[in-house]
Amino acid sequence: MSLSEKLSRRIDLFRDEVEQWQDAHAEAMACLDLQDTLAFGLSVYHQIAGAESAWYASVDAGQIPFDETEETAFGQLSALWLLPCDRLLAKVQRFEDAGFHVEGATEFRSVAEQARSSAWTGPLSSEANERIQRFQSLTATELKSLAERHPPPTAWFDEPELSAP
């Protein structure tokens, strides 16, 4: 084999290495995007669960009357939240099968199971169906932009301050 043939083979190997690196980099970036989406989904779920918990606490304390419509609305919110979850969980599994650690995946799976147990199983309103169609038509870039524009309020997760006795 001539020197030029050896060098040509090395150039081919070098090009292959660059292509593999670019593919690996693209996969890693896609995994980071998925983690961002999971974090956004978790924050939305925690907002729903927190609002529901606060509502039930107010009902239990006798501060507000029980309203079946409001209870159903929380179940519908859980059902709406679950709509993209199977698709996300399939992507999580694909990345994990490829050897990636997907931050937030364990919590997301747990939360999805919790949401399934409280999700409304009856028919959704026409307004809810319209929201579903709009959400499902969003691209990954639009979803990421939405998550960046609407982070959860910091105070939402703060514990109430206890006054000193």
Residue 5 is predicted with a pLDDT of: 86
> What are the residue boundaries of the structural domains of the chain, listed by start?
36-150
Residue 156 is predicted with a pLDDT of: 43
CA distance 80 to 124: 9
Residue 163 is predicted with a pLDDT of: 45
42, 127, 86, 75 alpha-carbon torsion, rounded to 10°: 60
Residue 134 is predicted with a pLDDT of: 73
CA distance 72 to 94: 34
Tokens of 96: 């994990």
In the predicted model, residues of the chain with pLDDT beneath 50 are: 155-165
- Predicted TM-score (pTM) of the model is 0.64
Residue 49 is predicted with a pLDDT of: 92
